[in-house]
Structure 1
Amino acid sequence: MTANPITSAVNSQAVETAKSLRQLYFIRVAFSVVWVILIALFAKVSLLTASILLIIYPAWDIIGTFLDIRANSSNISKTPQYVNIVISSITTIAVFIALQKGVPEALMVFGVWAIGTGLIQLILGLNRKKLLGGQWPMIISGGQSVIAGIFIFISANDPTKGIASLAGYSAFGAFYYLLAAIRLSKSVKL
């Protein structure tokens, strides 16, 4: 019995996509870990440095999303990623502008961004689950991002909250990217 060339090509494409996404997820983990460390170090001692880090976070998401589009050679719609690029671009500019008014305003912008990108991540994970499997960490992460975004927005004016409160948000994101990378390794025999 001979192998179906179409099935073989689809499986080969899924394996290559999974490999590329796994590598990207590890890169995203590394970025988030470094960002968490830097925000923890500078949030209390340098508002300027912490503010720059707050701007860098959604800007990095733009780069990460471009890399995601490049890594994903499948025929799955890339519309969610393009929407994410637009949202993260607007957010990067909006955080910069909001910081001129104050940290609470910037945190509100960040919270709205976390909600929007969480919904996109949720949709993307559900779409990729059909082709690649191993996307449950991304699905959970998307849902948690929505919840975290609501919390960040609501608590933005709490005087005990500040930019440092975002470290947990980023740390959980790193954790879920790590789980997704490991899960992709197991679900598609790499």
Structure 2
Amino acid sequence: MTDQPMNPAGAQERWLRLYYFARSAFSVLWVAAAFTLGQQTSSIAAVLLIIYPAWDALANTADAAASGGLGRNRTQSINAVVSLITALAVAMTLPTGMNAVLGVFGVWAILSGLLQLGTAVRRWTSSGAQWAMILSGGQSALAGAFFIVQARMPAPPSITAIAGYAAVGALYFLVSAVWLSVTEWRRRAGGASGGARTS
């Protein structure tokens, strides 16, 4: 009797499937809170605005650690640092108003989007569903530029502007998770049918 050989590629895709589902679920919950509690109480909105980039920092750190370590995954590591700095910057700019906060989010969306795009390009040959992550990264950078323009407008924006951005991100993560799940199901189904034909 021999042990089953390990499949690093399969383990990585299982991690990414779980990771993408978790990120999508968090974003959906955050968006729901932003559209309800965030619009009713300014203190809750402030907490939500700090939590969002802080969660991104935690998520990128976990992804890098599960994918070979922080040293081998520079884009995720840098993204984690950028997101942590963003959370601190948001906390510092909240007293000055939402225009300044939206400007901070704009810079962050550009940087984190480009870093996410870089991560997806690097994973293109080893993991599936990276086309969605490339689209997500590009869309994030474009949204960030729009945030910066919007932040210069005289009318103060609300948390819903950022919630819309988060909702689109949730969709991309969900698409990636479902894509990986369907790919795994097809692989198993193909293996099972192949085994049945040769038995």
Q: Is the 8 A contact 1:62 1:89 kept in 2?
A: yes
- Of 138, 147, 150, the residue aligned with 2:145 is 150
**SS where residue 155 of structure 1 aligns?**
helix
Within the alignment, does 1:131 sit opposite 2:132 as a pair? Answer: no
Q: 1:169 aligns with which of 153, 158, 165?
A: 165
CA contact (8 A) 2:19 2:63 kept: yes
CA deviations over 1:123-182 (Å, ceiling 9, x no partner): 101111111132111000000000001111110243163221111100010000011112
Corresponding residue of 1:4: none
Counterpart selection for 1:45 from 22, 26, 40? 40
Provide the alpha-carbon RMSD of the alignment.
Answer: 2.0
Which stretch of structure 1 is more off in the superposition, 89-98 or 61-70? 61-70
Say whether 1:21 aligns with 2:21.
no
Alignment check: 8 A CA contact 1:112 1:153 kept: yes
Q: Distance in 1 between matches of 2:45 and 2:147?
A: 16
C-alpha separation in 1, matches of 2:173 and 2:128: 14
**Bigger Rg over Cα:** 2
Counterparts of 1:18 and 1:146, CA distance in 2: 26
Partners of 1:134 and 1:187 within 8 A in 2: no
Distance 2:15 2:68 in 1: 9
| Contact 2:97/2:156 (8 A) holds in 1 | no
> Whole-Å Cα distance in 1 between the matches of residues 19 and 81 of structure 2?
20
Aligned to 2:88: 93
| Normalised TM-score (structure 2) | 0.85
Identity %: 41
Name stretches of at least 5 consecutive residues in structure 1 with no aligned partner.
Answer: 1-7
Which residue is equivalent to 1:180?
176
Cα distance in structure 2, aligned partners of 1:82 and 1:14: 21
Quick check: 1:21–1:71 contact (8 Å CA) kept in 2? Answer: no
CA distance in 1: counterparts of 2:175 and 2:63, whole angstroms: 17
CA contact (8 A) 2:99 2:152 kept: yes
Maintained 8 Å contact 1:17/1:73: no
TM-score by length of structure 1 reads: 0.88
Q: Is the 8 A contact 2:102 2:151 kept in 1?
A: yes
Farther-moved stretch of structure 1 (107-116 vs 179-188) = 179-188
Matched letter for residue 46 of structure 2: S
Q: Name which of 135, 157, 175 aligns with 1:140.
A: 135
Counterpart CA distance in 2 for 1:178 and 1:101 is 35
Matched, 1:120 2:123: no
For 2:156 and 2:45, how far apart are their aligned partners in 1? 16
* Higher RCO (C-alpha under 8 Å, 6+ residues apart): 1
Residue 102 of structure 2 is aligned to residue 107 of structure 1: yes
